[in-house]
Structure 1
Amino acid sequence: MVNRYSQMIAPGRSEVVEEPTPAPQVGEVLVKVTVCGVCASELHPWQEGRPDPPYRFGHEPAGVVVAVGPGVTGFAPDDRVTGLFTGAYSRLCLARAEQILPIPAEVPDTAALGEPLACLVNGQRRTRVELADRVAVIGLGFMGLGMLQLLRLRGAARIVAIDVREEARQKAAELGADEVYHPADVPDTYRLTRFDEWQSTKGLDVVVEASGTQPGLTLAGEMVKAHGILSILGYHQASDRQVDVGMWNWKAIDVVNAHVRRHADLMESMRIGLELTRGGLIDLGQLVTHRYGLEDVDRAYSDLRDKPAGFIKAVVLP
Structure 2
Amino acid sequence: MGRVVYCANEFVPEEKARIGLFDRGFLFGDAAYEVTAVLGGRMIDNDLHLARFARSLTELSIPLPMPLDRIVEIQRELIARNNLMEGAVYLQVSRGEADREFLYAADLTPTFVAFTQAKALRDTKAQRNGVAVDIAPDPRWARRDIKTAMLLGQVMAKREARARGFDDVWFVENGTVTEGASSTAFIIPDDRRIVTRANSHATLPGCTRRALMRLCEAQGLVVEERSFSLAEAQSAVEAFQTSASSFVTPVVRIGETLLGGGEPGPLTRKLQAYYLDAAGIREAMTL
Taking structure 1 as the reference length, the TM-score comes to 0.27
**Which of 1 and 2 has greater Rg?**
1
